[in-house]
Amino acid sequence: MDALADARAYPALYRISTLVGRVDEPREALRAILAIAVETFGAASGSISLINPDSGRLEIEVHQGMPADTDDIALRLGQGITGWVAFHGRPQLVPDVAGDPRYIRLRPAVQAEMAAPMIESSGQTMGVINLDSDQIAGFSAADLQLFLLLTAEATAIMQRLWQLRQLGGKARQLESLITIGQSFVAKIEPEELCDSLTRDARQITQTRACALYLHDAARATVRPASLTSGTITEIQVADHPLDSCFTAAAIHTRRQVEYANVQSPEFADLVDLPRDPALCSVLATPLLYENEVIGVLAVFTDHVHRFNNDEKRLCAALASLAAVALQNTRLYARVFQSEESLRKNEQLTTLGLLAAEIAHEIRNPLTVIKLLYGYLGLDFPEGDPRRTDVRVIGEKLDQLEAIVTRVLSFAKAPSSLHSRWSIGEVIEDTIVLIRLKLAQSKIHLRFTPPARPLVIDAHKGQLQQVLLNLFINATQAMPDGGSIILTASTEERNGAQFAMIDITDTGTGIPEAIRDRIFDSFLSGRPDGTGLGLAIAKRILLSHHGDITLAATSPAGTTMRIALPLAKQ
């Protein structure tokens, strides 16, 4: 008999076909379809099972008239009558389930079963609709023909609902991508951008966690930059060798790489994985900019999951946006650095012109002072402290004259001004110059000369300028008084002997925010500072083939370390 000739056909088909306009939620539509089928054929119970694309198993989505624990049942393809129908794609009419070895009894009263595959337009089986009867031969061949017709209509309706839902989801994703792209453009801080990226990517992909890794091609390392997760997880923020990272495959191939379960033993030694036992499947997408991998975006699920093409395309779009945004932040940083450099160069140029004008104006009165000082013919007996003061004043006048000459000749100090000096003698003469300042500031200075003379080739005036600058910085860090300790020792560096001078104060320390930049020009931790003292000291010591570094600093005090090569014997 023709199925459409059955009086039950048209009302049932009409009710199923109108579900598209009445129901938005696919699960609700499945319940309605099952209710129509149970009512149409007078079935005692029924269920609709769908194939899970991740596990490949048949899972019961909706059921009617069956035990409550039916929701937990999942069948392998080929298992039971339902699994057989799904595997072979052919319907089955079983008049007496007791005589069918395939049957799995879920409800004791079931005597007969009818099952039809839900076959998509592509020919793939997406699920199975089952109906049960509590009577032997409770369904006829005519029932099966009508059941197949209703199942085909139900399958078409479900496909339309899923397509509408997918289209709605894609529209929302597109809208989110546009919003994310606009927000990325406004972010110029790399850290803020990375956190925003992982947060937005996790939200739009509806995954358990999302992480961003930055790739350094020159060093062959990967550094985790940001992690956003549904739970508190830890990620080791450090530069990891590329060969010890799970992201290496995506970087080497420049393609998306998918892992089914990162909790497997082979992933245990990979250092860039977040240590969260709930994470399972991962999709790693490379961030490509001008065909270079600058990072990897990874999304994690909390169950075994096979990422479909839509999910992969979405992650690829996010990665493309992220690559451009990250590159923009780097370009912004370079622009800011260039602007800062230009600003400093402009300041230095202005300072140089001003210094030349000042030096020109100073030179004439300085020459007069030198001549008058020479005519005074001051001489004091041995042991008289004023004898040392007279000698120091003469040296300082010579030093001032040399400074003026250097400024006027673009600060090119003649090498002939370098001569051999004992470190101890230079320090002691500098202490004489600063002794009154220290006394006024209630600062005690202690210097223990080295066991043997440490001789260097140097410009004494310039070295004293360095020491005076450090002493003055120390006094300003101790407004209520304190102490300064000087020690001199030797150290071997790259086969050469160096004199090491440590200057330790009991001041308040250097603020953490500027510790890495204290030798930059125009950087000062004081409102009235020029920011030139340590920068000049650095240049002077580098010109002597030495250096100055910050050895230690804390609220309890600061130690500055000077290194100068010892003169060859």
CATH number reported for the structural domain that contains residue 50 in this entry: 3.30.450.40
Whether 195 and 149 map to the same domain: the answer is no
Contact 49, 128 (CB under 8 A): yes
Domain membership of residue 399 (yes or no) is no
HSE at residue 94, side-chain half, CA atoms within 13 A, is 28
Q: What is the pLDDT of residue 347?
A: 62
Q: What is the rounded distance in angstroms from the CA atom of residue 211 to the CA atom of residue 175?
A: 22
Angle at 382 between CA 378 and CA 385, to 5 degrees: 70
Residue 522 token pair: 């125009």
Last residue of a domain, one of 168, 199, 226: 168
Q: What is the pLDDT of residue 313?
A: 86
Domain membership of residue 370 (yes or no) is no
Domain membership of residue 392 (yes or no) is no
Residues contacting 486, CB < 8 A, separation 6+: 427, 445, 446, 447, 448, 501, 502, 503, 504
The dihedral region occupied by 476, where left means phi > 0, alpha psi between -120 and 50, and beta the remainder, is alpha
Whether 193 and 67 map to the same domain: the answer is no
Whether 9 and 149 map to the same domain: the answer is yes
Contact 50, 155 (CB under 8 A): no
Q: What is the rounded distance in angstroms from the CA atom of residue 360 to the CA atom of residue 374?
A: 22
Last residue of a domain, one of 134, 168, 202: 168
Q: What is the pLDDT of residue 405?
A: 77
Q: What is the pLDDT of residue 528?
A: 47
Q: What is the pLDDT of residue 353?
A: 59
* DSSP 8-state assignment for residue 413: -
Please name which of 107, 112, 83 lies closest in space to residue 96, comparing C-alpha atoms. 112
Q: Is 247 exposed, middle or buried (0-12, 13-18, 19+ CB in 10 A)?
A: buried
What is the pLDDT tens value at each position of the chain, 569 positions in all? 466 657 787 888 888 888 877 887 888 989 999 999 999 999 999 999 999 887 788 999 899 999 888 878 888 999 999 999 999 999 999 999 999 999 998 899 999 999 999 998 888 899 999 999 999 999 999 999 999 999 999 898 888 887 777 666 666 666 666 666 666 655 657 777 788 888 888 888 888 898 989 999 889 999 898 888 876 555 667 888 998 899 999 999 999 999 989 888 888 888 888 888 888 999 999 999 888 899 999 999 988 888 888 888 888 888 888 888 787 777 766 655 655 555 565 566 556 656 666 766 676 677 667 767 776 767 777 877 777 877 888 788 788 878 777 776 654 444 445 788 999 889 988 888 788 778 888 999 999 888 888 999 988 888 888 898 898 888 888 989 999 999 999 998 888 899 999 999 999 998 888 888 888 755 555 554 445 678 878 888 998 899 999 999 999 999 999 999 998 86
Domain membership of residue 150 (yes or no) is yes
Residue 456 token pair: 């260097």
Whether 115 and 255 map to the same domain: the answer is no
Q: What is the pLDDT of residue 226?
A: 87
> Strand 240-241 vs strand 482-493: parallel, antiparallel, or unpaired?
unpaired
Domain membership of residue 284 (yes or no) is yes
**Which residue blocks in 409-529 are alpha helix, DSSP H?**
423-440, 460-476
Whether 69 and 194 map to the same domain: the answer is no
Whether 425 and 558 map to the same domain: the answer is yes
Residue indicated by tokens 């930049």 = 517
Domain membership of residue 360 (yes or no) is no
Q: Which residues pair with 223 in a beta bridge?
A: 214
Amino acid letter for position 371: L
HSE at residue 474, side-chain half, CA atoms within 13 A, is 28
Residue 438 sits in a domain whose CATH number is: 3.30.565.10
Q: What is the pLDDT of residue 236?
A: 67
Please name which of 300, 286, 296, 307 lies closest in space to residue 209, comparing C-alpha atoms. 300
Three-state secondary structure of 344-381? HHHHHHHHHHHHHHHHHHHHHHHHHHHHHHHHHCCCCC
Whether 321 and 430 map to the same domain: the answer is no
Distances in Å between the Cα of 306 and the Cα atoms of 119, 202, 277, 339, 361 are 21, 17, 19, 49, 80
HSE at residue 251, side-chain half, CA atoms within 13 A, is 22
Domain membership of residue 352 (yes or no) is no
Residue 368 token pair: 């007069």
Q: What is the rounded distance in angstroms from the CA atom of residue 310 to the CA atom of residue 445?
A: 73
Q: What is the pLDDT of residue 175?
A: 64
Whether 121 and 247 map to the same domain: the answer is no
The dihedral region occupied by 410, where left means phi > 0, alpha psi between -120 and 50, and beta the remainder, is left
Phi and psi at 73, nearest 5°, equal -85, 135
Whether 328 and 440 map to the same domain: the answer is no
Q: What is the rounded distance in angstroms from the CA atom of residue 82 to the CA atom of residue 114?
A: 9
Last residue of a domain, one of 305, 334, 363: 334
> Strand 557-565 vs strand 58-64: parallel, antiparallel, or unpaired?
unpaired
Q: What is the pLDDT of residue 526?
A: 54
Whether 16 and 156 map to the same domain: the answer is yes
Domain count along the chain:
3
Return the sign of the alpha-carbon dihedral for residues 347, 350, 353, 354.
negative
Whether 163 and 59 map to the same domain: the answer is yes
Q: What is the rounded distance in angstroms from the CA atom of residue 94 to the CA atom of residue 84?
A: 12
Whether 141 and 11 map to the same domain: the answer is yes
Structural domain harbouring 449? 413-565
Domain membership of residue 70 (yes or no) is yes
